[in-house]
Amino acid sequence: MDQKLLQLNAEYARALDDDRLEAWPEFFVEDCLYKVTSADNLKRGMQAGLIYADSRNMLRDRVSALREASIYERQTYRHIVGLPVRLKSDDAEAHCETPFLVVRIMRDGKMDLFATGRYLDRVVEEGGSLKFRERLVVCDSSRFDTLLAIPL
Amino acid sequence: MIVEKKIWPESLARVPYWVYQDEANYRDEQRRIFEGPVWSYACLEQDLARPGDFRTAQIGELPVIVVRADDGEIYAFENRCAHRGALIALDEGGSGAKDFQCVYHAWRYSQQGDLLSVAFEQGSNGRGGMPKSFCKEEHAPRKLRVAVLANLVFVSLSDDVPPIEEYLGDEVLGRIERVMGKPVEVIGRYTQSLPNNWKLYAENVRDTYHASLLHAFFGTFRITRLTQGGGVLVSPDGGHHASYTIDAPGDETSTAYKEQGIRSETTYRLADPSILDAVDEFGDRIQLQILTAFPNFVLQQIYNCLAVRQIVPRGTNAMDLHWTYLGFKDDTPEMRRRRLKQSNLVGPAGYVSMEDGCVGGFVQRGSAAAGGELSVISMGGDTAATMDTRATEASVRGFWKIYRTLMKV
């Protein structure tokens, strides 16, 4: 399980950083929750996220919007994902926390530390591989530079 | 950036690019606008529910503390110690504040902003201390007037500004009350740092012309299209506006966008359209209303997604946009979930607002060497009057109307 968890996190980051966004929804089960929030919003029980998707199709819509509708300057991310801690688990699912750091590289080469935080995950096994039932992206800061296009 | 020739054309429909670049002008704005005869949005009344609750805010460059005192009233004063100028309150807010003490030398202020005590005022062992002539009543941070309206707290440094209702005008006031008529609950707070002068955002949010052109998401899903019903209200002084879109069945057959080859006409469709499952909660078929109050306030209703946006300048080339996402206290769980889903449209990652986050930077960079050139704001003529179409830049001209009045240019 732990080896699979590492693999899941590594593949997730690699898909986003390699601009294989279409693969991103497939890391989730159909009935999922993906939310980008901040530590402060989480602490205060404020539920609205920067991104809030409660189905895999909403994740697919994010990707097709980025591909076909949204306007933003060309940019890529480099995710550095730390080691997951298993908070609790049973046969059905595991609750994990994993720290991350994301560098944003703009088309002109400018690099910025764009986001840091932790993933709060509920991970389940589906069809022989691990998937996210829930991934809360809890950013350490509530401030975002310019825009958040590519998912974290 | 120093601009050699600061021209100002006669027409409201032309704006020189140096106004987004010039540092002396930026300092003038602080004095003439943010500290001038305007009402600036500070916080929600909900943020100050109980005595001792306070929030800090920034009015232009001016840091302020807004607090509900034990007498039940709301007071506002500059967040600056009268001693050496340090911030008095460091957090964005808090509760149970009986008084405020500067961390630097422990000078203490009342909830009204009066200086209560000076540490070691009498010195130590009979030596040192403040001069006998020192009078605490003469030393205090500047106090601001406070106006509370429809869940919103506004502040002003000016004794000359008219009452808030008169300042906003009946039409815009009615549009605020339309949305903010019930007790609200904050459901999210985020800050978006934008790489542009604050005025570029103030214009963008008043610009009804761009909405369906820049934002393909809007156009394709007919949330707002210039061919739908709606219009724009502009206050007599130009500073405040409300634009609105009315749900108009039959618009699907319009081919105006396709005929003009406009990018926002795409074949893009959603796999999960639940994000667009909106209800007419205000009972007037207005799907979208964007409202501004000069200088720093934006109120947004996009379907059932409600938010207040606060503009904070950060020098000539940068600004912060503080987003406060709202629901109502009496929301059903279904309505709350609807708001959470629709919040995907706005904020730093919003299907719509994302683009407003970058487009100001495109203007700032595109016009960097064009301080002496003029921006063209002629859609719908050269006045700032209310119009029953959104194919106009009337409310952008309105911004410049009040701006030029206050800046005396």
Verify whether the Cβ–Cβ distance A144 to B192 is below 8 Å: yes
Rounded-to-integer distance, Cα B234 and Cα B329, Å: 31
Q: What's the distance, CA B324 to chain centroid?
A: 11
pLDDT of residue B219: 64
Task: Give the integer Cα–Cα distance in Å for A16 and B242.
Answer: 39
Q: pLDDT at residue B142 above 80?
A: yes
Most confident of A24-38, A59-73, B205-219, B246-260: A24-38
Mean pLDDT, all residues of chain A: 96
B189 touches chain A (CB under 8 A): yes
Q: What is the pLDDT of residue B276?
A: 87
Q: What is the pLDDT of residue A28?
A: 98
User: Mean pLDDT across the stretch B273-286?
Assistant: 92
> pTM to 2 decimals?
0.95
**Residue A59: in which H helix or E strand, if any?**
helix A56-68
Classify A6 as helix, strand or coil: helix
- Is A145 at the interface with chain B, CB within 8 A? yes
Shortest Cα–Cα distance, A60 to chain B (Å): 7
Digit-coded pLDDT (tens) for A99-151: 999 999 999 999 999 999 999 999 999 999 999 999 999 999 999 999 999 99
Distance CA A35, CA A73 (A): 23
Residue-level pLDDT at A139: 98
Distance in angstroms (rounded) separating the CA atoms of residues B289 and B271: 26
The proportion of chain B whose per-residue pLDDT surpasses 70, expressed as a percent, equals 91
Q: Enumerate residues 106 to 125 of chain A having a beta carbon within 8 A of any beta carbon in chain B.
A: none
Q: Which has more confidence, B268 or B329?
A: B329
The whole-number average pLDDT for the span B238-246 is 94
Q: Is B192:B348 a contact under the CB 8 Å cutoff?
A: yes
Mean pLDDT of B43-63: 98
Q: Do A148 and B275 touch (CB under 8 A)?
A: no
Reported confidence tier of residue B71, pLDDT bands at 50, 70, 90: very high
The predicted structure's pLDDT at residue A100: 98
Closest chain B residue to A62, measured at CA: B351
Residue B250 pLDDT > 70: no
Question: Looking at the complex, does the CB of residue A41 fall below 8 Å from at least one CB of chain B?
Answer: yes
Confidence of residue B23 (pLDDT cuts 50, 70, 90): very high
> What is the pLDDT confidence band of residue B217, given thresholds at 50, 70 and 90?
confident
pLDDT tens digit sequence for B156-192? 999 999 999 999 999 999 999 999 999 999 999 999 9
Determine the average pLDDT of the residues in B317-334.
98
Three-class DSSP category at A2: helix
Question: Using the beta-carbon criterion (under 8 Å), do B193 and A50 form an inter-chain contact?
Answer: no
Q: Is B253 a residue whose pLDDT tops 50?
A: no
Q: Do B348 and A148 count as a contact with CB atoms less than 8 A apart?
A: yes
The percent of residues in chain B predicted with pLDDT above 90, rounded, is: 82
Residue B386, pLDDT score: 83
Instruction: Measure A2 CA to nearest chain B CA, in Å.
Output: 32
Q: What is the pLDDT of residue B229?
A: 82
Q: How far is CA B202 from CA B300, B396, B400, in A?
A: 13, 8, 10
Q: Average pLDDT for residues A49-75, to the nearest whole number?
A: 94
Lowest-pLDDT choice from B27-31, B60-64, B223-227, B389-393: B223-227
A121 forms bridges with which residues in the sheet?
Answer: A96, A135
In the predicted structure, residue A39 carries a pLDDT above the cut 60: yes
* Residue B144, pLDDT above cutoff 90: yes
Question: Which of B:98-127 have CB within 8 Å of A?
Answer: none
**pLDDT over 90 (residue B228):** no
Find which of B269, B272, B322 to mutate to test the A interface (most A CBs within 10 Å of its CB): B272
Whole-angstrom distance, CA of residue B86 vs CA of residue B346: 35
Q: Which range among A37-51, B86-100, B172-186, B218-232 shows the weakest confidence by mean pLDDT?
A: B218-232
Partners of A73 on chain B (C-beta within 8 Å) are 358
Q: Which of B37-41, B150-154, B203-207, B382-386 has the lowest mean pLDDT?
A: B382-386
**A36 to chain B: which residues are within 8 Å by CB?**
349
Asked if the C-beta of A7 comes within 8 angstroms of chain B's C-beta atoms, the answer is no
- Cβ contacts of B309 within 8 Å, gap of 6 or more: B205, B297, B298, B299, B300, B321, B322, B323, B324
Chain B contact present for A54, CB below 8 A: yes
pLDDT band of residue B389 (cuts 50, 70, 90) is confident
Calculate mean pLDDT across residues B110-121.
97
d(CA B20, CA B372): 11
Going by DSSP bridges, is the β-strand pair A143-145/B115-117 parallel, antiparallel, or unpaired? Answer: unpaired
Interface touch B343/A65, C-beta < 8 Å? no
pLDDT of residue B4: 60
| Residue from A35, A146, A150, A152 to probe the interface with B (highest B Cβ count within 10 Å) | A146
**pLDDT class of B218 with cuts at 50, 70, 90:** low
Q: Strand pairing partners for B308?
A: B299, B324
Q: Mean pLDDT for chain B?
A: 92
The residue type found at A77 is Y
Per the structure block, which two tokens stand in for A59?
A: 């994740």
Query: How big is the CA angle at A106 (ends A102 and A107), to the nearest 5 degrees?
Result: 145
Partners of B275 on chain A (C-beta within 8 Å) are 58, 61
Worst-scoring range by mean pLDDT, B101-105, B120-124, B390-394? B390-394
Q: What does the pLDDT read at residue B261?
A: 59
